[in-house]
């Protein structure tokens, strides 16, 4: 699943477009993800980031364009098939399976590729990686928010993906907790994982990601290294007047 | 050690119970029905309890099973034991058939669709007189007590049959709950989209659970037919008497757990029988009013309580 | 020609189906609750109409107004003391509340009125108009006419009266309605009362050609839900459309299928709608 050599493109998005009624939510978006890279997706509210993620995971069908996971075209495939092919997304906090234990949550992910006994072991390993090994028998509903964020990661990791989409994992975390997650994500990338990250917290995005895609009104208006993007006039214009603009300037 | 002892005592008690009660008495009859409805609730629990989809149409499978085996017995002299197998297949097929179009429905819509299914079966059975005998109902022909034909004069053999059925459904529930399917169902009950994103084929999981549930319920319908010797469409496909009752038993006892249906049946059925016995001498339908009123009262007094009962308790 | 006759008949009963089902959709639109007991109010309407006829010789068409009134009052009370308590409760609770109501109402009727069938006798029951080869049964015509009038009145109510507009506002967005100063609790009471009242009215109106019994309502459950789902749960216009379509489907299917399969036809339509287009045929979503 993750045996592509460094430098290969694991996700290729080309000409992706989606319209809802009068709104062009995704407008001819194209980009590549190289193995082991951490790429951020930023943009003002309503820019189309979530819609993009939903098209990658198969919950929304694009009107036009193509998505290649490895060599495989994945448009039109059901979400669970896309997951088993190697692309997984984390949800924001409320998507953990509250009535199930932490271990059971992660096991569900591992079931994507293993029968139940082996899946439990793989799940335990994933939980150890995110530091939740002491909480395995706790009900997910009783976890604290940062623990839930880590569970999201572990669950997704258990599906043994090639590409992980992180949807605002940092949203409710303290700066200290954020630093931990950032370290974890960097370690995953060093191990060969490819990550696409949506974040609103500019500082985190700038330190975590080696490359940033900027969306506005569904279009990709800029793409480059953090410093390139921060000084791009189009990007600054898009964020003009928002707090994010000053964060960009400071980054 | 104590646990094993308790279980042994319980098992012994159960084995001996029918011999402590009059062979054709009312008490034993109630006990048999408690066992049967507990088994039915457990079968309902397999689909609804684990995946969270409230079906109000299980009577459709139940009645289909009862009619299938009885008609085969009447027309082809087929033993109800074999009739069980045919009924199971019929139940499975119907469940799969219903499961497909209702796959994407949630909450009220799903309950509605399943209710319509149960009602449709009832109406069809009532109007298809040439096959089902219509509203008049159907009698299981009784010649003499016979194991091969699953019919007895004494209630005691029925007790063991119902008990076996209950044990089978409980085992089925446990096996599924602890399996990969069980984990997947519970996941999709919590958050269907998250489950999908993690690789769970929610449609396949629901279909499978639904099919097993439907098959089991249909087979229990056969047992019912052989026990009661007579049934009609309004009873076998009854919305209140079957579909709602088994759902309620599971929910009150604790849905999603293996003990829930047992507790629920032990609680609800004797109370119902008592009110029935007390009230139906006054007027038909009075006990049902009490049943409905209790249902309303439970919901009103603890609407969160039903949810509290609804979310699976840790096993 | 037979087909035309079937279509005409279908439209005539369809109009009544529409009135009967409008209440269901109204309740769902305003409160997002599927009232599983709705069909029982049809039965209540039938009994009110019947007893008004028995006691005062009142024609069931006129009796339907009284049926409306009685059901409206009962509905408001039920909404105020029962339904309102589960407005924000989980769906499980809501479903079982109205299901419990269904059980209580049906058996209450059984206890109070007995299980025998009751029918009215009116002067025009068996008469029919002949019209260039087509036969139009008078009771059906009257029922359709009444339905039409009621439908127009309802439309006017929703369009032009304050309460009607408040109802539509609440159906669209309860929170916004609150902020406009609308007492949504009162709106819900009226909506529920109105909804079950209309269904009861329909029950009385069909008495000339349908007998009353405690289980009469149950016969209409699937039908009502089919009507409402066809037109889109929550859409009043949809219920009208759905009613007519269901009436025609039912009527036309008598030409090609035995009665057992007719019910099946309806059910298949219902399930197909839920599966393929749960928002209804008319919805633009």
The sign of the CA dihedral B27, B29, B31, B37 is negative
Shortest distance, CA C239 to any CA of chain B (angstroms): 17
> Could you state, in order of their start, the residue ranges of all structural domains in chain C?
2-276
Q: φ, ψ for residue B291 (rounded to 5)?
A: -55, -50
How far apart CA C2 and CA C135 sit, in angstroms, is 10
Shared-domain flag, residues A13 and A74: yes
What's the pLDDT at B297? Answer: 85
How far apart CA B78 and CA C147 sit, in angstroms, is 53
Q: φ, ψ for residue A9 (rounded to 5)?
A: -85, 120
Query: Are A109 and B199 inside 8 Å of each other by CB?
Result: yes
What's the pLDDT at B95? Answer: 95
CATH architecture of C2-276: Orthogonal Bundle (1.10)
pLDDT band per the 50, 70, 90 thresholds, residue A93 = low
Q: Any bridge partners for residue C137, and if so which? A: C128
Is there a domain that residue A1 lies in?
Answer: no
- Measured between alpha carbons, how far apart are the two ends of chain C, in Å? 38
CA quadruple B288, B294, B299, B304: dihedral, nearest 10: -140
Shared-domain flag, residues A185 and A156: no
Return residues 256-285 of C near B (CB < 8 Å). Answer: 259-260, 263-264, 266-267, 270-272, 274-276, 278
Query: Domain of A175: which CATH number?
Result: 3.40.50.300
Q: Using CB atoms, list chains with 3+ pairs below 8 Å to chain A.
A: B
Of A138, A160, A182, the residue that ends a domain is A160
Shared-domain flag, residues A130 and A79: no
Chain C residues with CB under 8 Å of B111 CB are 34, 36, 95
Indicate if the pLDDT at residue A122 is higher than 90. Answer: yes
Shortest distance, CA C139 to any CA of chain B (angstroms): 25
Return residues 185-204 of B near A (CB < 8 Å). Answer: 186-187, 189-191, 193-202
Shortest distance, CA C88 to any CA of chain B (angstroms): 9
Shared-domain flag, residues A229 and A126: no
Residue C90 near chain B (CB below 8 Å):
yes
Quote the radius of gyration of chain A (alpha carbons, Å). 18
Shared-domain flag, residues A175 and A73: yes
Of A111, A129, A160, the residue that ends a domain is A160
Residue A59 near chain B (CB below 8 Å):
yes
Is there a domain that residue A166 lies in?
Answer: no
What's the pLDDT at B315? Answer: 37
Mutate to test the interface with B, among A53, A54, A59, A80 (most CBs of B within 10 A): A80
For C265, name the nearest residue in chain B, comparing CA atoms only: B120
Residue A91 near chain B (CB below 8 Å):
yes
Shared-domain flag, residues A182 and A237: yes
Strands (E), chain A: 9-20, 23-34, 38-42, 64-69, 72-73, 87-89, 163-167, 194-198, 211-216, 219-224
Residue A180 near chain B (CB below 8 Å):
no
Is there a domain that residue A91 lies in?
Answer: no
Shared-domain flag, residues A180 and A81: yes
Average pLDDT along chain A? 87
Return residues 68-97 of B near C (CB < 8 Å). Answer: none
What's the pLDDT at B304? Answer: 55
Shortest distance, CA C62 to any CA of chain B (angstroms): 31
Shared-domain flag, residues A136 and A240: no
What's the pLDDT at C284? Answer: 53
Of A137, A160, A183, the residue that ends a domain is A160
Tell me the pLDDT of chain C (285 aa) as tens digits: 778 888 888 888 898 899 889 888 888 888 888 898 999 999 999 999 999 988 888 888 888 999 999 999 999 999 999 998 888 887 778 888 998 899 899 889 988 888 888 888 777 777 777 777 778 888 888 888 888 888 888 888 888 888 888 888 888 777 777 777 778 888 899 999 999 999 999 999 888 888 888 888 877 887 888 888 888 777 788 888 889 988 998 888 888 877 667 777 778 888 787 777 767 666 554
Residue A102 near chain B (CB below 8 Å):
no
Shared-domain flag, residues A188 and A249: yes
Q: Which of B100, B116, B307 sits opposite C222 (nearest CB)?
A: B116
For B196, name the nearest residue in chain A, comparing CA atoms only: A80
pTM: 0.84
Shared-domain flag, residues A187 and A226: yes
Query: Are A97 and B194 inside 8 Å of each other by CB?
Result: yes
Q: What is the largest CA-CA distance in chain C?
A: 58
Three-state secondary structure readout of C51-73: HHHHHHCCCHHHHHHHHHHHHHH
Return residues 134-173 of C near B (CB < 8 Å). Answer: none
Q: Using CB atoms, list chains with 3+ pairs below 8 Å to chain C.
A: B
Within 8 A by CB and 6+ apart from B207, the residues are B96, B99, B100, B103
Number of domains in chain A: 2
Shared-domain flag, residues A66 and A187: yes
Which of A231-245, B13-27, B284-298, C83-97 has the weakest average pLDDT? A231-245
Question: pLDDT for A188-240, tens place per residue?
Answer: 999 889 999 998 888 888 888 999 999 988 889 889 998 888 888 888 877 76
What does the pLDDT average to over A55-74? 92
CB atoms within 10 A of CB B301: 11
Domain hosting A152: range is 96-160
Is there a domain that residue A245 lies in?
Answer: yes
For B123, name the nearest residue in chain C, comparing CA atoms only: C263
Question: pLDDT for B144-184, tens place per residue?
Answer: 888 888 888 888 889 999 999 999 999 999 999 999 999 99
pLDDT band per the 50, 70, 90 thresholds, residue B198 = very high
Shared-domain flag, residues A175 and A155: no
Using CA atoms, how far residue C24 sits from C42, C218, C239, in Å, is 11, 14, 9
How far apart CA B261 and CA B255 sit, in angstroms, is 7
Q: What is the largest CA-CA distance in chain B?
A: 59
């Amino acid at each position: 699943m993750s045996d592509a050599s460094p430098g290969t493109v694991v996700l290729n998005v080309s000409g992706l477009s989606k319209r809802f009624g009068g709104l062009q939510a995704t407008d001819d978006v194209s980009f590549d993800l190289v193995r082991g890279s951490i790429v951020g997706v930023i943009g003002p509210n309503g820019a189309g980031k979530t819609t993009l993620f939903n098209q990658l995971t198969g919950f929304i069908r694009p009107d036009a364009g193509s998505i290649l996971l490895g060599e495989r075209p994945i448009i039109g495939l059901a979400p669970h098939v896309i997951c088993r092919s190697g692309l997984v997304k984390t949800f924001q906090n409320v998507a953990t399976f509250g009535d199930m234990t932490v271990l059971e949550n992660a096991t569900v992910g591992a079931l994507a590729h293993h029968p139940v006994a082996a899946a439990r072991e793989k799940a335990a390993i994933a939980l150890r990686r995110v530091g939740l090994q002491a909480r395995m028998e706790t009900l997910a509903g009783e976890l604290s928010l940062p623990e839930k964020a880590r569970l999201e990661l572990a669950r997704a990791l258990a599906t043994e993906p090639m590409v992980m989409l992180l949807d605002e994992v940092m949203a409710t975390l303290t700066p200290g907790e954020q630093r931990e997650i950032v370290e974890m994500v960097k370690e995953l990338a060093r191990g060969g994982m490819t990550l696409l990250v949506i974040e609103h917290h500019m500082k985190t995005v700038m330190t975590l990601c080696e490359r940033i895609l900027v969306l506005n009104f569904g279009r990709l208006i800029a793409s480059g290294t953090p410093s390139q993007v921060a000084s791009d006039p189009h990007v600054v214009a898009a964020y003009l007047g928002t707090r994010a603009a000053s964060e960009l300037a400071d980054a | 050690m104590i646990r094993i002892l308790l279980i042994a005592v319980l098992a012994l008690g159960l084995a001996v119970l029918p011999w402590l009660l009059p062979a054709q008495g009312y008490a034993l009859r109630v006990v048999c029905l408690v066992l049967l409805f507990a088994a039915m609730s457990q079968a309902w629990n397999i689909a609804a309890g684990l995946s969270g989809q409230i079906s109000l149409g299980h009577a459709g499978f139940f009645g289909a099973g009862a009619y299938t085996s009885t008609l085969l017995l009447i027309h082809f002299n087929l033993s109800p034991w074999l009739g069980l197998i045919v009924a199971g297949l019929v139940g499975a097929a119907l469940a799969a058939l219903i499961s497909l179009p209702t796959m994407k429905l949630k909450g009220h819509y799903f309950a509605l669709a399943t209710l319509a299914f149960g009602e449709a079966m009832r109406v069809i059975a009532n109007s298809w007189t040439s096959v089902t005998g219509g509203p008049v109902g159907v009698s299981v022909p009784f010649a003499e007590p016979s194991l091969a034909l699953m019919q007895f004069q004494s209630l005691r053999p029925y007790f063991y049959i119902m008990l076996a059925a209950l044990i089978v459904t409980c085992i089925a529930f446990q096996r599924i709950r602890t399996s990969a399917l069980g984990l997947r169902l519970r996941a999709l009950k919590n958050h269907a989209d998250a489950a999908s994103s993690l690789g769970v084929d929610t449609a396949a999981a629901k279909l499978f659970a639904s099919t097993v549930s439907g098959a089991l319920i249909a087979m229990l319908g056969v047992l019912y037919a052989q026990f009661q010797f007579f049934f009609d469409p309004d009873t076998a496909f009854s919305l209140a008497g079957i579909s709602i009752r088994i759902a309620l038993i599971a929910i009150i006892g604790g849905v999603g757990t293996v003990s829930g249906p047992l507790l629920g049946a032990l609680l609800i059925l004797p109370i119902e029988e008592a009110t029935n016995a007390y009230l139906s001498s006054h007027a038909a339908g009075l006990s049902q009013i009490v049943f409905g009123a209790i249902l309303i009262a439970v919901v009103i007094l603890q609407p969160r309580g039903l949810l509290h009962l609804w979310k699976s308790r840790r096993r | 020609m037979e087909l035309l006759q079937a279509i005409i008949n279908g439209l005539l009963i369809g109009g009544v189906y529409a009135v009967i089902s409008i209440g269901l959709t109204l309740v769902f639109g305003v409160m997002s609750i599927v009232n599983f007991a709705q069909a029982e109010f049809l039965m209540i309407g039938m009994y009110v109409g019947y007893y008004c006829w028995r006691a005062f010789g009142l024609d069931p068409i006129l009796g339907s107004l009284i049926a409306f009134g009685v059901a409206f009052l009962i509905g408001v009370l039920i909404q105020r003391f029962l339904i309102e308590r589960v407005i924000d409760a989980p769906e499980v609770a809501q479903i079982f509340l109205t299901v419990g109501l269904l059980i209580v109402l049906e058996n209450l009727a059984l206890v109070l009125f007995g299980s025998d069938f009751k029918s009215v006798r009116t002067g025009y029951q068996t008469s029919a108009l002949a019209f260039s080869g087509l036969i139009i049964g008078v009771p059906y015509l009257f029922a359709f006419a009444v339905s039409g009038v009621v439908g127009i009145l309802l439309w006017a109510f929703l369009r032009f009266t304050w309460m009607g507009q408040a109802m539509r506002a609440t159906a669209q967005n309860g929170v916004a309605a609150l902020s406009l100063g609308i007492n949504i609790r009162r709106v819900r009471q009226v909506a529920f009362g109105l909804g079950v009242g209309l269904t009861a009215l329909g029950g009385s109106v069909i008495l000339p050609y349908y007998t009353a019994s405690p289980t009469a309502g149950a016969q209409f459950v699937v039908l009502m839900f089919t009507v409402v789902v066809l037109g889109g749960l929550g859409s009043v216009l949809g219920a009208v459309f759905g009613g007519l379509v269901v009436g025609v489907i039912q009527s036309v299917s008598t030409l090609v299928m035995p009665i057992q399969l007719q019910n099946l036809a309806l059910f298949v339509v219902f399930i197909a709608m839920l599966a393929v287009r749960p928002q209804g045929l008319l919805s633009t979503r």
